[in-house]
Structure 1
Amino acid sequence: MNRHRTALSVLLSAGALVAGVLTAATPSIAADAPASFRQQHTQGFWTAERMREATPLDVTAVPGAARTPVATAAAPTAVAPTAALSAASPTAFPQAGGAWTGGGAVVKTSGRVFFTMGSRTASCSGNSITSANGSTVMTAGHCVKYQGAWHTNWVFVPAYNNGSAPYGQWSATQTFATDQWAASEDMNMDVGLAVVAPLNGQTLSQAVGAQGVLFNGGYNKKMYSFGFPAAAPYDGTKLVYCSGNSGKDFLLTKDHGLGCNMTGGSSGGPWFQDFNEATGLGTQVSVNSFGYTFLPNRMYGPYLGNEAKAAYDKAQTS
C-alpha cells in the first residue's frame, strides 16, 4: 500500500493500493444504496499475465467525507472454524512483515482477489470463512466497491502462486458490503464479502477449508494479519504476514491497529486472533484496510461489529 491514510488527506488502504494512482472525490451515493451486486464475468478473462499485471488499488479519503457512527457493539458472536483451535505458539511473534513459511490452513484459505475497476485491472486479498453456503470470502469494502461503483469480473484465487491458481479461480456470483460502506464508504465499516460459485463440483470451503469468524470480539488482542502485498518492496507472488499486539486507533476511526509494513494488494487480507502457527487456523476479527501517511509501518482494520455481522449474514444465506 503506498502508505496510507484516511480522512484528513489520509490515504486509505493497505491493499487495494498502488502508488498514488487515484485521487478520489467524495462519493456521491444515496443513503439507501444497495449493499450487494450481482456479478457477471468474461470467461477466461483472468490469464496468468493479467493476474501478474493487476494493479494494487490506491484509494484516498477526502477531508469532510461522510462518516457514520462507529461499529455498534454487542455480545460477542463467534462462528467456529473448520477445525479445533489450540493455543497459539509464539515463534513468529511479533513480526512487522515477512513471508509466511509456516504452512497450515491459512495458506489455502487466504488468496488474492482480482477484479476490474472501470477500464483497469486491480488486486486485493481475501480469505475463505465458515458460512452456511460454504462459499463466502471476506475482504475489504473497497475491494468490492469504490467511488460509488461495484467492481466487476471479481474472482478469488486461494493459495495464489505467481500467476498460478492451484485450487482454481473462484468467480463471485454476488458481492456485498456493509450498508454503511455501500452508502458513504465510511472507513469504520470497510468490510466486503463475496459469494463464489462452486468449482468442479465443490464449494469453496470443501476445496480449501474455511476460517472461523468473531464479531464484537473486543480490542487489544494478539493478532496476525495476512495478505498478498504487490507494491514495492513486495511483488504479490507470496503470502506475507504481520503479528503483534493490536491497539485501538486513537485518530480518525475506531479500527484495530497493528505494526505492519504490508503494501498495496494486501487490502482485504484477514486478521486473526487465537491464531495457531502449527495448524494455520485462527478466528478472523478484521481485514487489512488502511494506514496513515504520517504513521509508516502501521496497518488498520475495521472492528467487526453488528454492521459487519449483518453483511455476513446476508452473504452466507444468499
Structure 2
Amino acid sequence: MKHTKTAVITAILALAFALVGIPAQAAAKPFWTPDAMRAAVPMDSLVRAPAVTPKDVARGQSTIIQSIPNGGGPWTGGGKVTQTAGRVFFLFNGQKASCSGDAVTSTNGSVVVTAGHCVKYQGTWHTQWVFVPGYDNGNAPYGQWAAKTTLTTPQWEASEDINYDVGMAVVNPLNGQRLTDVVGAQGIAFNQPKNQSMYTFGYPAASPYDGTKLIYCSGSTFTDFLLTQDHGMQCNMTGGSSGGPWFLSFNEGTGTGVQASVNSFGYNFLPGYMFGPYFGTDAQNLYNRAQAA
C-alpha cells in the first residue's frame, strides 16, 4: 500500500509539472556571462617571461610574447568584419583570459582562426574556449560559439616556435546553425608575397584600450629583421588583440578581405610595432585539418 501511494503522488506531481510548464531541471547558467567576459584579462598579462633586450637579440636568444600587439583606432567602417571578427575567451591555468579571432570560409562552416598561444601556451591547452563574433562590451550579438576542438601548427604544439604562432578552432553549431551561415566568412590565403599593404583587426583589452571595441591598423608591412620571419607593421594595439586577423586586399566599403596572418607578438624594446606569422604551408595544413574536423 505504501508503494502504491508513493507511485500515485509521483504521478500527480509529474502531471502538475507538465501542466504548468515547470522544467524537471533548471537550465544551466552559461559560464561566460557578460560580467565574466568583462573580467577576462588579456592573455599576455598572465604570461610571465623575461624581457628581451637588444643585447639578447645580438646573442640570438629567442623572443617571447610581450604586449601582444599594438593598434590604430576604433573601426567605424562597418561591413562584414564587424561580424566575422570577435573576442575569444578561455581559461588559461584556471584564469579567465581573452584573445581575438576571425571566422573564415571553410568546408564545415565552423572554423575560427586565432593565434597559437590563444589555444595552447606553456604546454597547456586552454579550456572553456568560446568565440564571440561582433563582441560588444559584454554582449554577444551573434551568440557564443563553443569550441568542439582547438588545433595549432606542429611547430607551435611541440616547442611554441613564434614563427608558427597560428591556432584554429572548430566550433559547435548554435541553435542548429553553423557559424559562417550566421556571421559570414572572410577569405583565407597561404604562401602569399610578403611586404604588402595589410589591415589588421583585434580587441585589445590592456590600457589604453578596454576590450569593448574593434580596433584596427593599416599600412605597409615588412619582414621582421630581428628574430623571426614574421610580417611586421607599425601599430599600437595592446594585449588581447592576439589572434586578430591580418587582411590582404581589404575593402573598407564591404569590410571584407583575405586573411593571411594573425596578431602574434611585439618586442618590448620596440614599441609601436606588431608582428604576425607568415601563413605558409604549415598554416595551410592546419587549416585543412580544421575544415575537415
Q: Under a length normalisation based on structure 1, what TM-score does the superposition of the two structures give? A: 0.76
Name whichever structure is richer in helix by fraction.
2
How far off its partner does 1:57 sit?
1.1
Q: Take 2:193 and 2:291, find their aligned partners in 1: how far apart are those partners? A: 23
**Equivalences for 1:210-289 in 2 at 5 Å?**
210-289=185-264
Query: Residue 40 of structure 2: which of 26, 34, 54 is its match?
Result: 54
Aligned partner of 2:268: which letter? T
Secondary structure at the counterpart of residue 52 of structure 1? helix
Q: 1:117 aligns with which of 92, 96, 106?
A: 92
Task: Find the structure with the greater CA-based Rg.
Answer: 2
1:201 positional shift: 1.4
Q: How many pairs are equivalent?
A: 250
Deviation at 1:290, TM superposition (A): 0.3
CA positional deviation for 1:294: 1.1
TM-aligned CA distance change 1:49 to 1:193, over 3 Å: same
The question of 1:154 aligning with 2:140 is answered no
Q: Could you tell me the percent identity over the aligned residues?
A: 63
Counterpart of 1:203?
A: 178
Given candidates 138, 142, 154, the residue that maps to 1:167 is 142
Cα pair 1:66 1:184 within 8 Å, conserved: no
- Counterpart mapping for 1:130-145 below 5 A: 130-145=105-120
Is residue 219–residue 234 contact of structure 2 (8 Å, CA) maintained in 1? Answer: yes
CA distance in 1, matches of 2:234, 2:244: 15
- Structure 1 residues 67-82: aligned runs within 5 Å: none
Distance 2:29 2:115 in 1: 25
Considering only aligned residues, what root-mean-square deviation do their CA atoms show, in Å?
1.8
Paired with 2:233 and 2:105, the residues of 1 have a C-alpha distance of 24
The answer to whether the Cα contact below 8 Å between 2:63 and 2:227 also exists between their aligned partners in 1 is no
TM score, norm. by length of structure 2: 0.83
State the structure with bigger RCO (CA 8 A, min sep 6), 1 or 2. 1
Letter aligned with residue 171 of structure 1 = A
Unaligned ranges ≥5, structure 2 = 1-27, 51-55, 65-69
CA-CA distance at 1:171 after TM superposition = 0.2
Say if 1:65 and 1:249 are closer, same or farther in 2 by CA, change over 3 A: closer
Q: Does residue 126 of the first structure (1) align with residue 101 of the second (2)?
A: yes
Instruction: Give 1:43 deviation, angstroms.
Output: 6.0
SS in 2 for 1:137: strand
| Distance change >3 Å, CA 66–CA 267, structure 1 → 2 | closer
Q: Distance in 2 between matches of 1:276 and 1:143?
A: 27
Q: In 2, Cα distance between the equivalents of 1:185 and 1:297? A: 24
Tell whether the 8 Å contact from 2:110 to 2:179 is kept in structure 1 after alignment. yes
Does residue 292 (structure 1) correspond to residue 278 (structure 2)? The answer is no
Task: State the 1:119 CA deviation.
Answer: 1.9
Equivalent residue for 1:9?
none
Q: Unpaired runs of 5+ in structure 1?
A: 1-41, 68-94
| CA shift digits 1:169-199 (9 cap, x unpaired) | 0000000000100000000000000000001
Shift >2 Å, 4+ stretches: 59-67
Question: Quick one: distance in 1 between partners of 2:265 and 2:63?
Answer: 17
Equivalent position SS for 2:189:
strand
Deviation at 1:66, TM superposition (A): 10
